[in-house]
Amino acid sequence: MNELVLSVTQLNTYARNLLEQDPHLANVFVVGEISNFTNHYRSGHWYLSLKDENALIGAVMFRSAVQRMRFVPQDGMRVICRGRVTLYDRDGRYQLYIEDMQPDGMGALSLAFEQLKDKLEKIGLFDHEHKKTLPAFPETIALVTSPTGAAVQDMLNILTRRYPVAKVLMCPVQVQGETAAGQLTDMINTLSFRDDIDVIIIGRGGGSMEDLWAFNSEELAFAIYNCPIPVISAVGHETDFTISDFVADLRAPTPSAAAELAVPQLTDLLASVAYYKEQMTTRMVSRIETEERVLNRLASCRKLTTPHTIIEPYIQRLDRAEQRFSSLVREQLTERENQCCTLSARLQAYSPLGVLKRGYTLTKKDGAVIRSAEQLTIGDRIQLILGEGSATCVVEQKEEV
C-alpha cells in the first residue's frame, strides 16, 4: 500500500506535468463555441470558455498572442483554437492556453473587416453628410500610393492625358506589409495640413485580402475622415472593398477610374468652351441686330429728326415769362420812382435851406448857432447864413424878450 501523502500543490504540480509531457496535448486544435468571454483591458489577456453540446473547457489567450489577432471574439462565435493543454495550479483545473484562433467557417480577416466596418458605421464615419464634394477643376492632385507598379503609372497616364494642366504630387508609401498602414495614415495626416492640394487619391492595384489589409486600418479610417481635403479611395479591383472605400469622400472601382473621376477631360472642356463661345457669339449678334433695329426706329422718330418741334413750345413759354417779368419790373420801378418823388418833396419842404429861401436867416457865432439874444454881446461879430449866400455883421444893438 502506498502511504505517500501529497500536498495539494504537489498533486496539482504532478497533474500539470503529466499534461504538459503528453505530446498530443502540446499542440492541439480544438473547435467549439465561445462563452464567458472577457477582454481584460488592463493586462491585455483574453479569458473564455469553449463548449460543445456535452462539455466545456476554460481557456486563456495571453497578450503576446492577442496582439497577433485580426478580430475580437464574441460569445456564441464558433472558432478553431490552437494551443496547449495544462493545469492551472492555483485553481486545480486544466485549461487550454490558446496560441492562435480562427473563426470556424469564416476567415479571420473577413471577420475582422466586418467587425471594424460595423463599428465605424455605428459611430458615423460612413455617413453621407460628411462626404466632401470633389473640385470641378483641381489644380494639384496628391497620389498616395506605391511609387512602383502598374497602378501608379496608369493614374499618371490618365491624369496627364485627360487634364495636363493639373499638377500631380507623388506621395510614395508602402501599400502592403506591417508598416504600410502606418505610412498611409501618416501621409494622410501630413497632407491634411497643406492648403495647396485640391484632391487626394489613395489606393493601389489588386491583390488578395491580405495584400489589401493596410487599407482596413482603423487609424487610417479616422485620418481620412478628419482630412479637410476630398479623398478618393481606389483600392484593388471593382469587386474589392476596404474600410478606406467606405470612409472616403468617393470610392473608385480601380485606380484608373479614380484618376478619371478626379479630373475633367480637357478636350471635352475645350469643346464646351467652343460651343458656348459660338452660342454667345450667335446671341450677341442677334442682340446687336435687335438693338440696332430699335435704334433705327428711334432715329427715325419725328422728335429726333425735327428736335425744334420739341423746343419751340418751351421757347414761347420762355418769351411770355420774359415779357411778364419785364412788365412787372417796369411797374415796380415806376411805383418806386413816384414814392421817391413824394419823399423828396417832403424832405425839400422840411429842409433848412428851403426855410432860408423863404427869407429866414441862420445866425452863428464862432461856429455855434445863436438861438437867443442873450448869447450875444454888443460888438460881437456874427455870421448870417442866407437862402443864397452869407454875411458877416457886428452887433451894435440887441433886444432881449
Across the chain, what does the average pLDDT equal? 87
The SS3 assignment for 196 reads coil
Global pTM value: 0.54
**pLDDT, tens digit, 9 for 90 and up, residues 367-378:** 888 788 777 888
Sheet of 362-365, strands arranged across: 368-369, 362-365, 381-385, 390-394
pLDDT for the residue numbered 144:
95
Over residues 162-203, the pLDDT tens digits come to 999 999 999 999 999 889 999 999 999 999 999 999 999 999
So what's the pLDDT on residue 182? Answer: 94
Angle between helices 180-191 and 218-226 in degrees, nearest 10: 10
3-state secondary structure 82-150: EEEEEEECCCCEEEEEEEEEEECCCCHHHHHHHHHHHHHHHCCCCCHHHCCCCCCCCCEEEEEECCCCH
In this predicted model, what pLDDT tens digit does every residue of 237-263 receive, in sequence order?
888 889 999 999 999 999 999 999 999
Domains and CATH numbers, the chain: 8-106 (2.40.50.140), 113-127+138-264 (3.40.50.261), 355-394 (no CATH)
